[in-house]
Structure formats: structure tokens, C-alpha cells
Amino acid sequence: MSTMSSSASQDGLRFDGRVAIVTGAGGGLGRSHALQLAARGAKVLVNDLGSARDGSGGSSAAAEAVVAEIRAAGGVAMANGASVTDPAGVQAMVDQVMAEWGRIDILVNNAGILRDKSFSKMTLDDFRLVVDVHLMGSFYTTKAVWDIMKAQNYGRIIFTTSSSGLFGNFGQANYGAAKMAVVGLMQTLSLEGEKYNVRVNCLAPTAATRMTEDLMPPAVLALLTPESVSPGVVFLASEDAPSRTILCAGAGGFATSHITLTEGTVVLEGADAAEQVAARFAQIDDRAGEIVPASGSAQSQSQLAKVMAARALG
């Protein structure tokens, strides 16, 4: 494939015998992900509704074009035009893959839309549709493959989050909320999938695609190729992938993002407890010694241990 060097795809990470589903793969990032996985031996279901950037319309032509690219390069692929917001369509897509190839090893939840507006101007429909595509769409596809992956004791699931969810972005309350929600989904599924060798991660890409073409200057967009992001997907889809990782990628730069917990302090009940929180907020917010709790319950246990120790001293 044109997106990968032959030496890398021949001698590096391989997916021979593996089956991947990539949603929203008719263009941009999804196309690049599908091409790179196929170049390394994966059989790829290329899913794309073929809608406009705001989610309107639909055509299977984009998915079929990517399938043609993969096949022309000697790969194995088939197209699917289901909307990720349609549970029945998603289930039919999964059934299609199982009937043809008998297993599903990799799911890349990439499908997405934008309806950017300031919060004052954002309608309920603007908010709901973006959440439906990014969050519920990721839920439907993941739910449809989850038990298959558990039964075969192997699975690699990648959710697409965004810096807009992790850190916020003006005019993207709907998109940011949905993108942070998939991080929460990933955090829990990584724990539930651990004993079944189902590893679950998030990718936070920055790329020049139809979704971002209006948001950045041309010189910056030229650096932010989808092809520079997809090596992160290849790694997260691989045999030795981590789990519970948020991998940020763009223009060849890679970093991880973490949800951390500060050391904090303990304020016991009292009439001035709120004032004590205010007075000690600099200490509460001090990031020296911060940790990444292993789970939500681990965070609770850590906090309770400090409170119990403080009470014992008091």
C-alpha cells in the first residue's frame, strides 16, 4: 500500500489471520487506518455511511472506493454502509463479517460528525446527534463484537476521543462531551476485558480531514496527514498493545494523556469546612506526587484511607 513502506509492513507488526472493522473508513483517518491495517495482512471491513460532515445524506461509494484500493494492492476487504447509530444495521454488519471471515479481532471506532456552534446557539438536535454518533455509535459497535472477542479470548478495541473532549474547545460542547464520554467507556471496558485478552484503548488524533479543514491554516494542515496518525492505530491494534491508554497523535508526534489524582488533603466536617477547602485549595490542587488510580474504586479507597488516617490522628 502507498501508506506504508514495504519493509515495515513485511517485517514489523503484522495482522495475518486477523479481521478488523473500521467505522467511518470511507475517507480521512478511517481510510488511512483501514489501508494500513490491510497492508499488514488484516482482512478489513470498511464501514462508511457516506454522509456529509454534519451527518446528513449517505452513500456506500466512499467505502467501496477504499475496498477497491485495498484489493488493488493485494489486500482483502469488503464494504458496509451501515450507520453506527442504527443498532440493527450494526448487528447486520457484524453478522456479515462473521459469515465471511468467522472472527473479529480488531474494532476501530472512528465514525464521527461535527455540528459546531457556541453553546448558546446549539440546539438539542445538534447535541443529541453528535452524542448519538460518537458515543452511542461506539457503544453499538462495541457491544456487537464484545462477546465474540471474549469467546475467542482475543480482541483489540480502539475508541476515537479528541483533545476537544480531553481539554475542551470553544464551540464544541456536543463533540467534547461525546469524546470524553468514550474515554469513560474505554476505562471500564479495559477492566472488564482484561481476563479475556480484550484490550481497549483510545486514540486522540489531530489530522487534516474533512472534519478539520476549516479549523486550521493550510500550512498546518499539510503536516497533519491522516497517514501520520494511523501508526498509532496499528500499534493499539497489535498483539502487544497496551490497555487503558489514551494515545494522542498528530503530524508524527505521539504522547499519552492521563486522568490523574493529586495527593490532596483531608478536611473533616465542621462549620468552617467549606472555608477550609477554599483556604487549602492550592494544596488540594498541587500536582506534585499525583497518581493515576487503577480504577474508580481504587481512587475511592485511596481517599478513604487518607480520611481514616486523619480521623485516627484527630
Q: Encode pLDDT of 250-264 as tens digits.
A: 999 999 999 999 999
Q: Considering the domain boundaries, does residue 266 fall inside one?
A: no
Q: Considering the domain boundaries, does residue 112 fall inside one?
A: yes
Examine the domain organization and report whether 229 and 137 are in the same domain.
Answer: yes
Query: pLDDT tens digits for 181-218?
Result: 999 999 999 999 999 999 999 999 998 766 566 666 78
Examine the domain organization and report whether 253 and 165 are in the same domain.
Answer: yes
Q: Considering the domain boundaries, does residue 284 fall inside one?
A: yes
Examine the domain organization and report whether 180 and 299 are in the same domain.
Answer: no
Segment 68-78 shows an average pLDDT of: 98
Q: Considering the domain boundaries, does residue 54 fall inside one?
A: yes
Cα(233)–Cα(32) distance, integer angstroms = 10
Question: Of 55-59, 125-129, 143-147, 158-162, which gets the smallest average pLDDT?
Answer: 55-59
Cell matching residue 84:
453506527
Q: Considering the domain boundaries, does residue 58 fall inside one?
A: yes
Examine the domain organization and report whether 46 and 125 are in the same domain.
Answer: yes
Per the prediction, the chain carries an average pLDDT of 93
Which of 140, 154, 175, 196 is labelled catalytic?
A: 175
Query: pLDDT tens digits for 16-72?
Result: 999 999 999 999 999 999 999 999 999 999 999 987 676 666 668 999 999 999 999
Examine the domain organization and report whether 200 and 308 are in the same domain.
Answer: no
Q: Kindly report the CA angle at 22 between 20 and 25, in degrees rounded to 5?
A: 140
Q: Considering the domain boundaries, does residue 268 fall inside one?
A: no
Output the furthest CA–CA distance in the chain (Å, rounded): 73
Examine the domain organization and report whether 111 and 141 are in the same domain.
Answer: yes
CATH number for the domain including 246?
3.40.50.720
Q: Considering the domain boundaries, does residue 1 fall inside one?
A: no
What local confidence, expressed as pLDDT, does residue 11 receive? 64
Examine the domain organization and report whether 79 and 39 are in the same domain.
Answer: yes
Examine the domain organization and report whether 61 and 190 are in the same domain.
Answer: yes
Other C-beta atoms within 10 Å of 263: how many? 14
pLDDT confidence tier of residue 164, bands split at 50, 70 and 90: very high
Examine the domain organization and report whether 56 and 122 are in the same domain.
Answer: yes
Examine the domain organization and report whether 165 and 297 are in the same domain.
Answer: no
What local confidence, expressed as pLDDT, does residue 114 receive? 94
pTM to 2 decimal places? 0.92
**Closest Cα to residue 189, out of 254, 138, 226?**
138
Number of domains comprising the chain:
2
To the query of whether residue 140 is one of the catalytic residues in this protein, the response is no
Examine the domain organization and report whether 248 and 287 are in the same domain.
Answer: no
Q: Considering the domain boundaries, does residue 290 fall inside one?
A: yes
CA of residue 37 relative to chain centroid, distance: 16
Examine the domain organization and report whether 303 and 220 are in the same domain.
Answer: no
**Residue 212 lies in domain:** 6-257
